[in-house]
Structure 1
């Protein structure tokens, strides 16, 4: 029962660190708690979506990946989707909040 919790905490920490790096490198974004929270939420949405899509595409009927290449591909896709999902969430938040203000 603790293992999923540790996985969740690890995912939040890694997503927050990745988000802090991406936000700090972007010339117009400011490193705030709200931007990191948006990045983490978008990263989780991207990770869940890419996991479902990758498993639907490459897994067998029991939702298992049988080759090492399939597992490494899953992890690479998960990393890219986390980065893209978080970046898209912060971008949309910045774009819509600037139009309202």
Structure 2
């Protein structure tokens, strides 16, 4: 069971860093610091969107429509942090 806990934490940590990168890139694109039409930036941006859209889409269906602000990444990020805290606080369950 310890291996299962470590695998879950690894997956959550990878998702955490991918979401951080996506959030920072969205800010940089919004403030026109980077151009999403450059080939490399565009490929990274499209890849991140394809990875995270299955997570954001169900959250967007539940949240009210807020024009100009997408709250789905924030909600997903909070849920991810909560899952990490829950797993860490219940780690003893996996070690027994």
Superposition TM-score tier, normalisation by shorter sequence: 0.3 to 0.5
After TM superposition, the score normalised by the length of structure 2 is: 0.36
After TM superposition, the score normalised by the length of structure 1 is: 0.35
